[in-house]
């Protein structure tokens, strides 16, 4: 073919056809789409988050906390760790009044009734829910819908419509509930059902307010005998301060993924040759056809792009080592846990150093909430079963899923000194009635005490018989030396 001089007009005409890569170009890359989705899902900017944490009102802080909890990830993982840390097992202590004895039938009947009621309350499930909501919103708010000797049911109150500024004469936190909440239920039939479920004190207050909305106070104080309020410290979401760290980590993950995508992406450069005097070997139309053919051949490979050019092309970039990037990400991840005050070893263990102390601190934090649970349960039991002959005290024990073995071991040792038989069994998951029922089943029905006779060991044989002598090859060298010296001394005496 004829070699011609480069014609700028011809090149410009065909230029648009040459700007084409694969079907997954940079502007529509997988990571670009992922970034777009992430941006839409994140409803707060870093600046908004910081302002809400530092100076936002409680409702804004609660919404922010719920947003990150329901997004899943680190925030949810940390809250669930604390909410499920305790086993929520406890001991019921009966206190007969002076002149009464627990073994007396009418007193014992009330004690048995209180134990049955504890089973009815399903405390591990109920208290886990209370702890979770308190950690998310800063406080748990609820109302008792049914409570007598045979029934116990509670409804969770929406925290965004609740506050607690006052206490009653007995020191219980009083709940102020905004009844305009029911107006958010737009379906009238569902609203009617909800009003029938809520305690009468609340539903009646709404109906009264609904008739004269501008004249009536829309806030009702829930009576302390049905209101349940468990504030956590200052009543604000406890872990809000870690959200900025989570945001930084998410952005760092995105940056690393984009960097990884860039590092594995390849660009095939087709340099269209020309002679030294500038004359073209191929016309622009011919170069475009070459470009189209190459793109078509590689279009199914998302990591390869094609560039066809008459000029020299050079790309200079910086590359972060894998080890360096991993170290940065690990440090940022640990910053999230450090801000929360929880050890990252719990979720991704690499060693046992300081983990036990961290778990002890976590237990101490949750026991501050568990002590409030204990007071609430004690009051419920005394309301339903206490009288002039007996009252009760219920205590949630400091038993977690991490320390239960240690707690059982330490309390079992105290049994030999006359301390409680109940504590180790409760820590194992048996309540006070379960222990009696299991022993009755084993001894009276199955008669296992007669059938399962333990083998004699060095520790169960009589002291008169003494410990069996060890074989010679199992004795310590000092023991052998002592025995030989004793034998020699005995022989000399003879």
**DSSP code per residue over 416-477:** TTT--SHHHHHHTT--HHHHHHHHHIIIIIS-HHHH-PPPP-TTTS-TTT-PPPPPGGGS-H
3-state secondary structure of 378: helix
In the structure encoding, which two tokens stand for residue 297, read together? 């051949």
**Quick one: which of 21, 7, 11, 18 has its CA closest to 296?**
21
Output DSSP code: residue 20.
-
In the structure encoding, which two tokens stand for residue 429, read together? 């998951």
Round to whole Å and give the CA distance between 200 and 145.
Answer: 9
- In the numeric block, the tokens 């006359």 are attached to 418
In this predicted structure, what is the pLDDT of residue 1?
A: 44
In this predicted structure, what is the pLDDT of residue 324?
A: 53
In this predicted structure, what is the pLDDT of residue 33?
A: 43
**Quick one: which of 3, 4, 20, 8 has its CA closest to 288?**
20
In this predicted structure, what is the pLDDT of residue 44?
A: 85
Q: What is the pLDDT along the chain (494 residues), one digit of tens a residue?
A: 445 555 555 655 555 555 544 444 434 443 344 444 444 445 788 899 999 999 989 999 999 999 999 887 889 999 999 999 999 999 999 999 988 899 899 999 999 999 999 999 999 999 999 999 999 999 999 999 988 888 899 999 999 999 998 888 878 889 999 999 999 999 999 999 999 999 999 999 999 999 888 767 899 999 989 999 999 988 899 999 888 888 887 777 777 776 766 666 677 777 777 777 667 777 777 777 777 777 777 777 766 777 777 666 655 444 555 555 556 556 656 666 666 666 666 655 555 556 788 888 899 999 999 999 999 999 999 999 999 999 999 999 999 999 999 999 999 999 888 899 899 999 998 888 888 888 889 888 988 888 887 766 555 554 445 556 666 666 666 776 777 777 776 655 54
In this predicted structure, what is the pLDDT of residue 24?
A: 42
Q: Where are the beta strands (DSSP E) in 293-436?
A: 304-309, 390-396
- pTM for the full predicted model: 0.70
**Quick one: which of 71, 87, 90 has its CA closest to 128?**
87
Sheet holding 173-178, edge to edge: 162-167, 173-178, 219-222
In this predicted structure, what is the pLDDT of residue 34?
A: 40
3-state secondary structure of 352: coil
Output DSSP code: residue 115.
H
3-state secondary structure of 158: coil
In the structure encoding, which two tokens stand for residue 374, read together? 């204990």
Start-end of H helices in 19-57: 30-41, 46-55
Question: 365 with 82: CB under 8 angstroms?
Answer: yes
């Amino acid at each position: 073919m004829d070699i011609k001089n480069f014609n700028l007009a011809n090149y410009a005409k065909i230029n648009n056809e040459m700007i084409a890569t694969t079907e997954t170009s940079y502007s529509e890359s997988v990571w670009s789409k992922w970034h777009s989705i992430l941006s839409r899902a994140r409803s707060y900017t870093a600046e908004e988050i910081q302002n809400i944490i530092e100076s936002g009102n409680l409702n804004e802080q609660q919404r922010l906390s719920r947003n990150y909890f329901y997004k899943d990830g680190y925030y949810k993982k940390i809250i669930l760790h604390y909410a499920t840390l305790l086993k929520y097992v406890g001991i019921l202590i009966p206190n007969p009044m002076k002149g009464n004895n627990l073994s007396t039938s009418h007193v014992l009947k009330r004690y048995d009734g209180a134990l049955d009621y504890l089973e009815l309350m399903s405390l591990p499930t109920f208290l886990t829910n209370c702890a979770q909501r308190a950690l998310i919103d800063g406080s748990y708010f609820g109302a008792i819908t049914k409570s007598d000797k045979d029934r116990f049911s509670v409804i969770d109150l929406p925290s965004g419509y609740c506050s607690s500024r006052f206490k009653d004469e007995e020191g219980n936190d009083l709940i102020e509930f905004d009844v305009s909440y029911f107006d958010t239920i737009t379906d009238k039939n569902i609203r009617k059902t909800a009003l029938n479920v809520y305690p009468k004190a609340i539903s009646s207050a709404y109906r009264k307010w609904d008739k004269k909305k501008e004249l009536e106070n829309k806030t009702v104080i829930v009576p302390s005998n049905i209101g349940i309020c468990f504030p956590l410290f200052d009543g604000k979401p406890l872990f809000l301060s870690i959200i900025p760290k989570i945001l930084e980590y998410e952005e760092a993950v995105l940056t690393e993924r984009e960097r990884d995508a860039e590092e594995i992406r390849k660009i095939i450069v087709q340099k269209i040759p020309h002679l030294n005097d500038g004359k073209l070997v191929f016309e622009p139309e011919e170069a475009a056809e070459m470009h189209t053919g190459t793109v078509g051949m590689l279009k199914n490979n998302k990591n390869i792009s094609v560039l066809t050019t008459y000029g020299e092309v050079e790309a200079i970039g910086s590359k972060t080592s894998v080890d360096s990037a991993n170290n940065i990400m690990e440090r940022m991840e640990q910053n999230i846990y450090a801000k929360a005050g929880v050890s990252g070893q719990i979720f991704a263990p690499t060693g046992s150093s300081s983990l036990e102390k961290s778990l002890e601190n976590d237990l101490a934090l949750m026991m501050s909430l568990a002590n409030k649970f204990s007071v609430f349960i004690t009051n419920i039991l005394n309301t339903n079963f206490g009288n002039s002959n007996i009252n009760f005290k219920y205590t949630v024990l400091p038993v977690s899923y991490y320390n239960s073995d240690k707690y059982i071991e330490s309390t079992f040792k105290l049994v030999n000194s006359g301390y409680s038989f109940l504590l180790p069994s409760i820590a194992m998951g048996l309540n006070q009635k379960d222990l009696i029922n299991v022993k009755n089943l084993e001894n009276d029905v199955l008669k296992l005490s007669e059938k399962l006779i333990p083998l004699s060991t060095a520790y169960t044989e009589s002291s008169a018989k003494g410990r069996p002598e060890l074989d010679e090859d199992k004795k310590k060298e000092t023991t052998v030396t002592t025995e030989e010296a004793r034998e020699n001394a005995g022989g000399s005496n003879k």
